[in-house]
């Protein structure tokens, strides 16, 4: 349980480790969102937001993890990122076409708060702080996409696999040892390659002693080497 700037230490508000989007709001502004929130639980595997459907709510993750991906016409998925506690999810349809452009699916049981976009819009109308935070969030998204685009279109498989591992270490599990709750297919979707290719490349890294892999247990042994490879 982490500090909440609006309600002290709390377990049931959507702001447990308040998402950045709401961090600078006044108590009044924040409460307008907080009081209207819907707390929902999803089981692992359930779809939280579905690409192509109406964007009516943002999700604030309190517990658990979900994968965010683009569903291609022919069925394969492009995994964009993983979201966990304290993260806000969805939004790129806001003030545009009000449609979800990505699907979000629970990887573990997930506990989140839904906040209606109409409430968020109402606060944006009133509060320049909120408006600016929203601009910040969307621009951060764009920056992330720019780098993702550049990386996926020019790096070799080894580079992309290494990058995925570093992403998991730094952004998701925050440790050089972690237990995956993503399938090999998910990891391959994250690196934009087939699962067979991902597995083979992973094995090469293992055989080179750069990582240890045993089923879903991963340990990054030679961080320097992996970082070097991630730039290739």
Residue 43, interface with DNA (CB under 7 A)? Answer: no
- The count of other CB atoms within 10 Å of the CB of residue 179 is 10
Per-residue x/- mask for its own copies, residues 132 to 171, rule CB under 8 A? x-xxx-xxxxxx-xx-xxx-xxx-----------------
Of the pair 5, 213, the CB lying nearest DNA is at 213
- Say how many residues touch its own copies, by CB under 8 A: 39
Going 98 to 81 to 32 to 129, the CA torsion angle's sign is negative
Task: Write out the two tokens for 129.
Answer: 């702080």
Strand partners, 211: 220
Q: How far apart are CA 27 and CA 70, in angstroms?
A: 36
Burial class, 164, CB count within 10 angstroms (exposed 0-12 / middle 13-18 / buried 19+): buried
- Block residue for tokens 């492009």: 78
User: Which residue number, 107 or 134, has a Cβ lying nearer to its own copies?
Assistant: 134
- Asked if 200 touches DNA (CB under 7 A), the answer is yes
For the bound state, the minimum distance from the C-beta of residue 73 to DNA, rounded and expressed in Å, comes to 14
197 touches DNA by CB under 7 A? yes
**β-strand pairing of 88-89 with 177-179:** unpaired
Assess contact for 159 and 193: CB atoms under 8 A.
no
Distance of CA 78 to the CA centre of its chain: 13
Identify what 200 binds: DNA, its own copies, none; CB under 5 to 8 Å per kind. DNA
The footprint of its own copies on residues 56-75 (CB under 8 A) is 70, 72-73
Contact of residue 94 among DNA, its own copies, none (CB under 5-8 Å per partner type):
its own copies
CB of 87 to DNA, least distance (A): 24
Measured between alpha carbons, how far is 12 from 197 in angstroms, rounded to an integer?
43
Among 55, 124, 157, 211, contact with DNA (rule: CB under 7 A): 157
- Residues at the contact surface with its own copies, assessed by CB under 8 A: 70, 72-73, 76, 78, 80, 91-97, 101-102, 124-125, 128, 131-132, 134-136, 138-143, 145-146, 148-150, 152-154, 192, 231
């Amino acid at each position: 349980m982490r500090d909440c700037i609006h309600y002290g230490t709390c377990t049931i508000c959507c702001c447990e480790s308040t998402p950045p989007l709401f961090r600078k709001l006044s108590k009044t502004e924040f409460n307008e969102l907080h009081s209207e929130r819907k707390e929902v639980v999803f089981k692992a595997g359930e779809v939280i937001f579905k690409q192509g459907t109406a964007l009516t709510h943002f999700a604030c993750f309190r517990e658990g993890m979900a994968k965010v991906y683009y569903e291609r016409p022919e069925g394969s998925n492009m995994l964009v990122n993983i979201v966990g506690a304290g993260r806000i999810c969805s939004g790129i349809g806001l003030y545009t076409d009000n449609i979800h452009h990505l699907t979000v699916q629970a990887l573990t049981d997930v506990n989140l708060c839904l906040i209606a976009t109409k409430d968020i819009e109402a606060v944006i109308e009133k509060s320049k702080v909120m408006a600016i935070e929203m601009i910040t969030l969307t621009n951060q998204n764009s920056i992330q996409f720019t780098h993702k685009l550049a990386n996926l279109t020019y790096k070799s498989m080894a580079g992309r696999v290494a990058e995925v591992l570093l992403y998991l270490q730094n952004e998701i599990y925050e440790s050089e040892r972690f237990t995956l709750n993503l399938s090999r297919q998910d990891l391959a979707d994250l690196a934009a390659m087939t699962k067979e290719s991902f597995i083979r490349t992973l094995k090469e890294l293992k055989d080179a002693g750069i990582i240890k892999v045993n089923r879903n247990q991963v340990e990054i042994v030679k961080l320097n080497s992996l970082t070097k490879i991630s730039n290739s």
